[in-house]
Amino acid sequence: MKLKIGVILAHPEAEQTFSHFADNADYELIFRTGFLDNAFDLACELQEEKVDAIITLGIPMDVFNAHITVEIFPIYPSSYDIINALYKARDLGEKLAFAEVPFQRIHYDVDRIASILRSDITHYKFSAIEHLSHRESIEKVVYRIIEDGRDVLVTMGGYSYTFAQSLAFPAIMVMPSEKSFLTALDNVKKLFWKYQVDAEKTRWLNAVFDSATEGVMVLDSNQIVVAINPSAQKFMRFNHDKIVGRHVLSIQSSNPLFQKFFNTSSNFEVVKSRTKEYAVKKEILYDGEIPLGTVIRANPMKEIQRLELDARRKISESGFVAKSTFSDIKGSSMAFEKTKQKAANYAKSHSNVILYGESGSGKEIFAQSIHNASLCKNGPFVAINCTVLTETLLESELFGYEDGAFTGAKKGGKPGLFELAHKGTLFLDEIGDMPLGIQVKLLRVLQERIVRRIGGSKNVPIDVRFIFATNRDLHMDIIEGSFRKDLYYRINVLVLHVPSLKDHKEDLKEIAQNILKKLSLQTGKALVLSDEAIRILQKYDWPGNVRELNNFLERAIFLDYHDDKVIHEMVSELMPIGALPKEQKSALEGERLWVDLDTMRNMENSIIEILYQRYNGNRKKLSDTLEISASSLYRRLKEMDLPKSLDG
């Protein structure tokens, strides 16, 4: 589209000087000659011709009032243009008068120009004079110039030039150079294209606003409705023309649903109509401390539930979902409950968590539970075992790669697990087995929270909660040089020791019953373990932990082993010869307890609590096992605020 520019000039010669600029240009120039009141009429005429902008020369800007909505650009001559006019004026006289157009936006250093030219120049300004029109004010200044004995008027205004000539007084009008005119044209074109871009943005924003399925209504600071999109109109059964421009008080009485939407007191509420429920958010927008207005957003609850279901289905389909929660972790002994409580507390933080524990002890179930109790529970849960892949494959899985990064790379590239875990949790299992080369790169990711794909040049920021797990002694690995010390201190923030099954055998019955319940649903078979069978199972240390117990019970349920004797034989087969003695020499022989390293007093208290739970508060058995007197045990239990027995 060709730009259409109107030009109002106060000097008739100007059109001849500048009209050629429109030749072969991407704009059209429409010239008019006039000044003062006449200039306003010409501007109205150009506006009716739908010009995109108006350029003026030698005309006070205040003659164009609010009726002129087209942008107006005055041409201001450069200092060079003024010097050129003053040079010409010196041929007509020695005492020069220089007068500026009233209300112009820039001013000139006439005194400096006079010193450069070494001329006698007096500076006059055509300012508005009270009770006088523009014409009368300008005429008054021209008369004063003549009375002051000036020889020549050099003026920037069209009317002062014409009036001086009518009095036969020598006058030179400052004509802008072609460069000044081109500058004005460039300003017009820049603004025009900016308007075009802004208009395009506005069209896009309006299209987005109107197409949003979420209902949106905007009020100004005076609670006048300034915008409402079609979805909000549909929800409240409002017509756009009947609500925009109205005050909320005039709307509330006629529309109960609008009243509920507007009166939402908190940031989020569920609002009910006769047939639907809506999730409504009301937010006041501020510019600093100054309120700008209010935005009300509404969505049908069914739509929110559908979107959430779709999102969960997609996450589930991708495999990046955590299925376990803390309620799935069975075991109610005092020591194990402490472990679960510590894990639940860790879930509230975004810091790195590391889980220490033997294989099969349930580290991933704890990791999933921490994720599902954290602030990033709605994000993905991505897990990878650092042992099963080579260094090259592990790097490509973690960081991803760009198209053509290496032979066999997937066309189009592939995002890595760091990227896929964005806004969620990345669980790195068996971190102690991660190759040193990858450890260096992982450390950088943990420090900078950015990743770069293999073969790529772009850094991708990530927001990921990291959970690590290992069955190794990382301190020993650091000494042996297989694990980086700096990485250890980066990941070893929130530490959780997941106890082996042998360290909380009092939970074996509950764990076994939960496993059998799941196996029964899967197989349609049932197996009930007697108390004797449980005691038999508790005599074995289960080096494979819960995983080994699960395999054992799955085999038993398929073979329909209900007899305690058979269970005893199956357990005996698992043990090395002599590992299942007929008699125990002491109450604690062959058993282990898991106690966090602490002060001696606290570690003793932990041991007492574990055995107290195991022996159901039997003080005699507890004192015999610990080989302390009944009175000493009584004082210790009282100090620890434990009852005399679990029953009281």
SS3 state of residue 202: helix
Question: Where is average pLDDT lowest: 68-72, 290-294, 330-334?
Answer: 68-72
Q: Give the 3-state DSSP-derived string for 331-346, with helices as H, strands as E and coil as C.
A: CCCHHHHHHHHHHHHH
User: Which pair of tokens denotes residue 8?
Assistant: 């109002």
Q: Look-up: residue for tokens 């000097």?
A: 11
CA distance 638 to 648: 13
CA distance 532 to 101: 110
pLDDT per position as a tens digit, 538-576: 888 888 899 989 988 888 887 776 666 777 777 766 655
Greater confidence (198 vs 433) lies with 433
SS3 state of residue 142: helix
User: Which pair of tokens denotes residue 423?
Assistant: 């806004």
DSSP-derived secondary structure letter, 247: B
Neighbour count for residue 35 (Cβ, 10 Å): 28
The pLDDT of residue 176 is above 60: yes
Structural element, H or E, at residue 159 = helix 158-166
pLDDT per position as a tens digit, 407-464: 555 666 788 899 889 889 999 999 999 999 899 999 999 999 999 998 888 888 999 9
Q: What is the mean pLDDT of residues 589-608?
A: 77
The confidence band for 584, taking pLDDT boundaries of 50, 70 and 90, is very low
Residue-range domains of the chain with CATH: 3-75+180-193 (3.40.50.2300), 79-176 (3.40.50.10660), 212-300 (3.30.450.20), 319-497 (3.40.50.300), 503-574 (1.10.8.60), 600-639 (1.10.10)
Is the CB of residue 28 less than 8 Å from the CB of residue 4? yes
pLDDT at 267: 66
The confidence band for 190, taking pLDDT boundaries of 50, 70 and 90, is confident
In sequence order, what E strands does 209-265 have?
215-220, 225-228
On the 0-12 / 13-18 / 19+ scale of CB atoms within 10 A, 253 is exposed
CA angle 60, 62, 65 (to 5 degrees): 135
3-9 sheet: strands from edge to edge: 27-33, 3-9, 53-57, 72-74
Buried b (16+ CB within 10 A) or exposed e, 330-368: bbebbbbeebbeebeebbeeeebbbbbbbebbbbbbbbb
